């Protein structure tokens, strides 16, 4: 349903029989808006040049803002750096705890081995096998081995 361009129709608030030209009414509205805008601009006070005292105050305020912003940036950077260091230290702590656990396990293993090697049974076994030692009332028999490491068979 497209709107038809109505021209020269009467409006309910107007006197009966009066014909309105819409183009003319649009132009009138545009003119009134332009007048209102120009009145608004006339009402705006003109900016006066700043006095020396006012300039100093605004310069101080600008310096203060700059220092506050710089201080905020420094604080944020310090906080970020500190957080980064905290994460690195926590990672180092985890690695150190893992290393401590590994070393304790190795210490326990070595302690068990030391206890085993210190036992009289182990000492006797190594003396008999590696050093070919015997008790005074025993005899030692050595069976020759061939090149392959197997006991040689007697040729008969």
Q: Provide CB contacts within 8 A for 22, sequence distance 6+.
A: 6, 7
Structure tokens at 112: 């068990």
105 pLDDT higher than 50:
yes
Q: Give the pLDDT band of residue 156 (cuts 50, 70, 90).
A: very low
Give pLDDT, residue 46: 67
Proportion of the chain above pLDDT 90, given as a percent: 49
Report the Cα 23 to chain-centroid distance in Å.
64
């Amino acid at each position: 349903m497209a709107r038809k361009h109505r021209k020269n129709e009467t409006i309910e608030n107007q006197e009966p029989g009066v014909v309105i030209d819409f183009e003319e009414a649009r132009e009138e509205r545009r003119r009134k808006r332009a007048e209102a805008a120009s009145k608004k601009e006339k009402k705006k006070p003109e900016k006066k040049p700043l006095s020396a005292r006012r300039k100093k105050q605004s310069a101080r305020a600008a310096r203060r803002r700059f220092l506050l912003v710089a201080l905020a940036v420094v604080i944020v950077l310090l906080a970020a750096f500190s957080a980064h260091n905290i994460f690195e230290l926590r990672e180092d702590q985890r690695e150190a705890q893992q290393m401590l656990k590994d070393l304790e396990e190795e210490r326990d293993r070595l302690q068990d081995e030391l206890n085993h090697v210190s036992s009289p049974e182990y000492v006797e076994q190594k003396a008999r096998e590696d050093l070919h030692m015997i008790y005074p009332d025993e005899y030692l028999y050595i069976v020759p081995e061939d090149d392959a490491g197997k006991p040689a068979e007697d040729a008969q």
